[in-house]
Every structure is written in structure tokens, then in C-alpha cells.
Amino acid sequence: MPHKLKTHTQLQYEKHKKVYANTSNKFYQTREWKDFRKFFLSMNPLCQICKEANRIVPATDVHHVGGRTPSNGLDSSICQSLCHSCHSRITATEMQRG
């Protein structure tokens, strides 16, 4: 059976996921992150991208605008509340941009 060809975006995303899992997974298990995320979502309960498009969608994810680094993980000024579909899309887009 022939393999289904993957799109460029999917490949980029999978590459990202791999890097992410290797380097960042521990961060997302920390008490600090979980508390920060809960607090951030309580302050920003709606997806900010959907809100700009006049859609009211509850946020489920906290996104680090421009990517997370070891020093900005808990920096609310670079974080954005997003729904899961916006988060997946924006992550794939940022990976393409490099």
C-alpha cells in the first residue's frame, strides 16, 4: 500500500513536535507553568485571534508569541490565549517562517 504523502506543513509541524518534545516537555509539567497557565487563561478566557474576528471562542491554550525560550516561559507580556485550532495553526505558521 503506498504511503500517503504528507504536506509540507505537516512535516514542519512534526519536526517541531519532535524538537518540542525533546527540549520543552519538562517545562509544561512544572507546577509553575500549570499555575501560570491557569491564571493566564482566567485573565484572558477567550481566544484572542477568534476575538479579533468577532468570534467568541473559549481559550484552551497559552501561546508564547514568537516562541518560548528558557527565560520567557512565564512572561505574560509575550503570551496569548488561544483556542486549540488557532494554536495549532499559528504554531505551524511560525515554524514555516523559521
Residue 11 CA to chain centroid, in angstroms?
17
The minimum distance between CB 64 and Zn ion, in angstroms, equals 16
Give the residue among 91, 67, 90, 88 at the shortest CA–CA distance from 79.
Answer: 67
Query: Phi-psi region for residue 43, left (φ > 0), alpha (ψ -120 to 50) or beta?
Result: alpha
Residues near Zn ion, by CB under 5 A: 47, 49-50, 57, 83, 86
The minimum distance between CB 2 and Zn ion, in angstroms, equals 35
The minimum distance between CB 82 and Zn ion, in angstroms, equals 6
Is 48 or 72 the residue whose CB approaches Zn ion more closely?
A: 48
Is 12 or 80 the residue whose CB approaches Zn ion more closely?
A: 80
Q: Which three cell numbers, joined as nine digits, stand for 39?
A: 491564571
Q: Which helix (H) or strand (E) holds 92?
A: helix 84-97
Is 49 or 79 the residue whose CB approaches Zn ion more closely?
A: 49
Specify the residue for cell string 509575550.
78
